[in-house]
Each structure stands twice: as structure tokens, then as C-alpha cells.
């Protein structure tokens, strides 16, 4: 079973011998930029450099995937927002939006030809041409609620959640259409996994009840439209919303280190009340698939500031907790040492051998 088959088998709830080590979130680091000559900000808008940097941690450290792009501003830029592409140490940011209210938001007919969308689609093709059926290709898109924040402004969005909910829901429906359009175009390009990152919907920013009633239904709609394996990533302490995340229909949930893996798995399985049917884990409540837990090696502390030994210790801890796919808890900091990425794979290998 090759690397691609291994990670996809896990997401399909099939038995595998090895726990995959991937990154479903941003993986560009400066050390890899230097070794591949694919630097930010050029790699954000050049398909060749995007593909090179997106696969760099596989080539240099053995990470078991390629992952592009390196920000959550692609859709907003294509909608007419002004984006600062940053530098080699800083990811792109939306700095200005042309939209004042939800009534101003309308996806143009030529949306898929705007901004850097063609670059991402071309980079997917380049990765597929190079790695074929051997390496999983992961492509990230922006979740509808986070995209709404880009279009209206995050502060305005959070304030409107309390005072003008109808305005939020109208804008969110427009953002959902944009997300679906972009996800369909990406799926047609042929990646193996689409990761929907919706960090603005974290419990630190909105109430869990608002997530359940406003955000969750749109994520369900988006999930239904994605015709590849699919992962949902939400930052922060997501335990209060983990069951609702699990109910959106994604194959995997990417979580940060603030979330206890064992408790998360218990919560999404409904207290462990599951049965095996045809080799799959099913919930006795409604028969829904139980998503896999992905994570949650601290990207802001252990991978960024820690030693390889500390990385290995954390990897073994999450394996003992039952993680399904090992991955950084969030996007990698650009200054993350390459040796710490290598340590994740080494720790998985050492753990696997010791448990044979």
C-alpha cells in the first residue's frame, strides 16, 4: 500500500498497518523555500513554485503528502478583495474588501478565472503529473463562515452575529455558493483530499449554539457537494462543537492540541455506542459515518519551538490517544525547523516498530 492508498484507506475507515503523517493545513516553511528556490510571495502566484513548495516536505523530510496552497485568501481575492501577499515569513492577508453589506456580494460569472484560482488549478495538475497515484495531493479551501468574514470584515461579522443575524445568513449563503463553485473546480482538477478550513467559526469567536444553527448547516451543504475525500479544520478549543463538526459529513476532522483526542473520539462516537457493519464503524443512533481524527501536534509550540525529541514525545502521545492521522495542529509557522518535520515521521516509525 503506497502513501496515497494508505491515507485514503484511513479516511474510508479501512484497516491499515501504518498511521499516516501528513499536513492538511499550510506547510510552507522557509528552510524548504531555500532548498527548493520556491519562496513566498512568488509561490503564492506561480504554479511551478507552488507545486514545488507544496511537495517540498515530502521530498526533504518524508511528509506523506503534497499540500497547496499556503493561505486562505484565494477566494476572497477572486471576489475582488485586496490581498497583501506578505513575504517569506508571513502569509497573505485580506486587507480591504469592496463589500459593505450582504446585498453587495455576488459571485461573478467568470469567478474561476479571476485572481490566483487558475494558479492553484495549474499547480494541482503539475503535482498530479509528477506524483501520479503514489502521493496524496491535498488542497485547502476557505470555509463559508471564514470567507464571509473576509468579504464583510471579521469584526463586523462577529458583531452582526449578535445584532443582524439575517444579514449574516444572507452573506453566508453567498459565501457558500462561492465555496461550492471553487470546490467543484478543484475536484475536477483531481486532488485526493480537499481540506475546508473555517477558523473564524471557532468557539473562541462565536458561540457553539451559533455554530450549530448557522455555520453547521452550510458546512453540511458544502460537504455534500465535495466529490473527493474531505477534511474539516477548525482552529482552537473545538470540544464544545466537535459533535456538530462530526455531523457535517466530512471524512476527517483536523483539531488543535487544545482538544483532547480521546475525549473528542468518545464524543463523536456518541459515548462509544457504535457497531461494525461491513468493516465500517457506524453510529447506532443514525448510522452516520464516524469521521477520523487528524492532528494534533502543536504547530505553534512543539513543531515551531521544540526539539526533535519533544516532537517525538508528542507524536507518541497522540498515537497512544488513538489519533487516526498524525498532522500538525494548524498551519506551520514559516520558521519551523525541517528537522522537526522529520521527527514526526521518525516517531511514527519508532512507535510502529515497538508495537509490532
**Reported pTM:** 0.93
Find residue 252's DSSP bridge partners: 231, 292
pLDDT values of the chain reduced to their tens digit, one per residue, 356 residues: 999 999 999 999 999 989 999 999 999 999 999 999 999 999 999 999 999 999 999 999 999 999 999 999 999 999 999 999 999 999 999 999 999 999 999 999 999 999 999 999 999 999 999 998 899 999 999 999 999 999 999 999 989 988 999 999 999 999 999 999 999 999 999 999 999 999 999 999 999 999 999 999 999 999 999 999 999 999 999 999 999 999 999 999 999 999 999 999 999 986 433 333 333 333 333 345 799 999 999 999 999 999 999 999 999 999 999 999 999 999 999 999 999 999 999 999 998 866 65
Neighbours of 156 (CB within 10 A): 20
CA angle, 32 then 328 then 270, to 5°: 160
- Give the DSSP letter of residue 71: -
Give the pLDDT of residue 291. 97
d(CA 327, CA 230): 15
Are 284 and 274 spatial neighbours (Cβ–Cβ below 8 Å)?
yes
d(CA 253, CA 269): 13
Are 153 and 209 spatial neighbours (Cβ–Cβ below 8 Å)?
no
pLDDT tens digit sequence for 254-283: 999 999 999 999 999 864 333 333 333 333
CATH number at residue 241: 3.20.20.210
Q: Interhelix angle for 165-189 vs 154-163, to 10°?
A: 130
Give the pLDDT of residue 270. 63
pLDDT tens digit sequence for 301-324: 999 999 999 999 999 999 999 999
Q: Classify the C-alpha dihedral 254-259-260-264 as positive or negative.
A: negative
Are 78 and 72 spatial neighbours (Cβ–Cβ below 8 Å)?
no
Domain count, the chain: 1
| Residue 148: alpha-carbon gap to chain centroid | 17
CA distance to 23, 245, 246, per residue, from 231 (Å): 11, 10, 10
- Give the DSSP letter of residue 288: P
Give the E-state strand segments of 85-174 in sequence order.
93-96, 137-142
| Structural domain range at position 292 | 3-354
Locate cell 513575504: which residue? 87
- According to DSSP, the β-strands at 82-84 and 93-96 are antiparallel
Helix spans in 232-337 (H): 242-246, 261-268, 302-305, 308-321
Q: Which residues contact 46 (CB under 8 A, 6 or more apart)?
A: 119
What the block records as the C-alpha cell of 278 is 461491513
Give the E-state strand segments of the chain in sequence order.
66-68, 82-84, 93-96, 137-142, 193-197, 229-233, 252-254, 274-277, 280-283, 292-297, 325-328
Amino acid at each position: 500500500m503506497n502513501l496515497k492508498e494508505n491515507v485514503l484507506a484511513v479516511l474510508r475507515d479501512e484497516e491499515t498497518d501504518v498511521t499516516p503523517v501528513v499536513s492538511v493545513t499550510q506547510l510552507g516553511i522557509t528552510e524548504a523555500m531555500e532548498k527548493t528556490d520556491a519562496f513566498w510571495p512568488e509561490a503564492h502566484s506561480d504554479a511551478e513554485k507552488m507545486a514545488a513548495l507544496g511537495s517540498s516536505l515530502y521530498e526533504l523530510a518524508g511528509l506523506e503528502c503534497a499540500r497547496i496552497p499556503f493561505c486562505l485568501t484565494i477566494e476572497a481575492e477572486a471576489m475582488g478583495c485586496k490581498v497583501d501577499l506578505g513575504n517569506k515569513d508571513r502569509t497573505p492577508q485580506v486587507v480591504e474588501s469592496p463589500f459593505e453589506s450582504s446585498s453587495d456580494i455576488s459571485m461573478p460569472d467568470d469567478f474561476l478565472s479571476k485572481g490566483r484560482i487558475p494558479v492553484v488549478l495549474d499547480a494541482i495538475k503539475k503535482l498530479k503529473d509528477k506524483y501520479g497515484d503514489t502521493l496524496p495531493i491535498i488542497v485547502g479551501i476557505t470555509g463559508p463562515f471564514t470567507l464571509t468574514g473576509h468579504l464583510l470584515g471579521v469584526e463586523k461579522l462577529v458583531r452582526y452575529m449578535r445584532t443582524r443575524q439575517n444579514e449574516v445568513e444572507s452573506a453566508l449563503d453567498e459565501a457558500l455558493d462561492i465555496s461550492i463553485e471553487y470546490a467543484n473546480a478543484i475536484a475536477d482538477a483531481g486532488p485526493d483530499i480537499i481540506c475546508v478550513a473555517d477558523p473564524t467559526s471557532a468557539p473562541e469567536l462565536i458561540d457553539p449554539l451559533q455554530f450549530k444553527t448557522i455555520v453547521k448547516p452550510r458546512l453540511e451543504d458544502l460537504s455534500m457537494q465535495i466529490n473527493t475525500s474531505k477534511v474539516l479544520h477548525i482552529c482552537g478549543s473545538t470540544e464544545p462543537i466537535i459533535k456538530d463538526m462530526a455531523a457535517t459529513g466530512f471524512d476527517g476532522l483536523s483539531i488543535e492540541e487544545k482538544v483532547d483526542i480521546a475525549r473528542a473520539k468518545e464524543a463523536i462516537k456518541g459515548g462509544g455506542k457504535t457497531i461494525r457493519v461491513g468493516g465500517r464503524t457506524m453510529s447506532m443512533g443514525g448510522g452516520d459515518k464516524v469521521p477520523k481524527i487528524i492532528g494534533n501536534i502543536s504547530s505553534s509550540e512543539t513543531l515551531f519551538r521544540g526539539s526533535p525529541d519533544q516532537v517525538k514525545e508528542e507524536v507518541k502521545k497522540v498515537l497512544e490517544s488513538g489519533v487516526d492521522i498524525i498532522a500538525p495542529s494548524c498551519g506551520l509557522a514559516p520558521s519551523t525547523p525541517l528537522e522537526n518535520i522529520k521527527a514526526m515521521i521518525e516517531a511514527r516509525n519508532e512507535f510502529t516498530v515497538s508495537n509490532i
